[in-house]
Each structure stands twice: as structure tokens, then as C-alpha cells.
């Protein structure tokens, strides 16, 4: 069993309107962050995860995610899974709980176009 207390979490900004709070499990198979997006992420183009499945549960807000050209509107209570290699962007005002498996790490995350 592992527990990560809120005061052990680490905040970082991908860009000004995308703030993630990571809860460091130190587990290579899975990790989790709470992500707040207010606008478009990334600011232009798309991003992809080369290794990680990104499961996203929307806890607050609404918006859209565009995955491989398909626009998906969402609201609080919805669940979205993005597969490794899928190119996407968010345009929303939302808070999301985002577990990734295997554990997300920056070197496998890429901006495209």
C-alpha cells in the first residue's frame, strides 16, 4: 500500500493555462495527476504520449478534446482515454484526474505540428 498526501504533491506548469499537480507514487507502472486547463493545451499543434495510456476523468468544467482530428465535447463526470501515439489537444475550462499507465514521464511526451 502507498499513500501520497496532498502536501507531498508537486505542482508544475506545462504552459500558463495548464497546471498539473502530481502525486509521486514512485511506481513505474502507474501514476496520477490533477490537471487544470483553462484554454487550449498545447497553445498550437498537438501533443502525444509515446508510451502512456492517459485516462482522464473530468471532475469540474467542460470543453472539448480533439484526438486524431475527432472532436469530443465533454463535461464533468465524463471519462476519456487517449491511447499511446494518438495526437490530441484540449480546449476547455476543466479540472481532470489523470492516471497514466505506464507512469507518465516527460521524455515520452511530444509536441507535434
Domain boundaries defined on the chain: 42-98
Over the chain (113 residues), the average pLDDT of each successive run of 10 is 96 94 96 98 97 98 98 98 98 98 95 88
Write phi, then psi, for 7 (nearest 5 degrees): -70, -5
Q: How far apart (Å, rounded) are the C-alpha atoms in residues 58 and 94?
A: 7
Q: How far apart (Å, rounded) are the C-alpha atoms in residues 20 and 10?
A: 8
pTM over 0.85: yes
3-state secondary structure of 54: strand
Q: How far apart (Å, rounded) are the C-alpha atoms in residues 63 and 91?
A: 6
From residue 87, alpha-carbon distances to 35, 69, 71, 75 in Å are 18, 8, 12, 21
CATH numeric code, 42-98:
2.60.120.10
pLDDT of res. 113: 80
Amino acid at each position: 500500500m502507498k499513500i501520497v498526501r496532498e502536501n507531498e504533491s508537486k505542482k508544475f506548469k506545462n504552459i500558463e493555462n495548464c497546471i498539473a499537480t502530481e502525486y509521486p507514487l514512485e511506481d513505474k507502472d502507474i501514476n496520477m495527476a490533477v490537471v487544470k486547463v483553462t484554454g487550449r493545451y498545447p497553445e498550437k499543434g498537438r501533443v502525444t504520449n509515446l508510451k502512456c495510456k492517459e485516462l482522464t476523468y473530468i471532475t469540474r468544467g467542460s470543453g472539448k478534446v480533439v484526438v486524431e482530428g475527432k472532436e469530443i465535447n465533454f463535461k464533468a463526470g465524463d471519462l476519456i482515454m487517449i491511447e499511446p501515439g494518438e495526437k490530441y489537444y484540449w480546449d476547455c475550462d476543466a479540472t481532470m484526474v489523470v492516471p497514466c499507465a505506464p507512469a507518465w514521464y516527460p521524455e515520452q511526451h511530444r509536441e507535434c505540428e
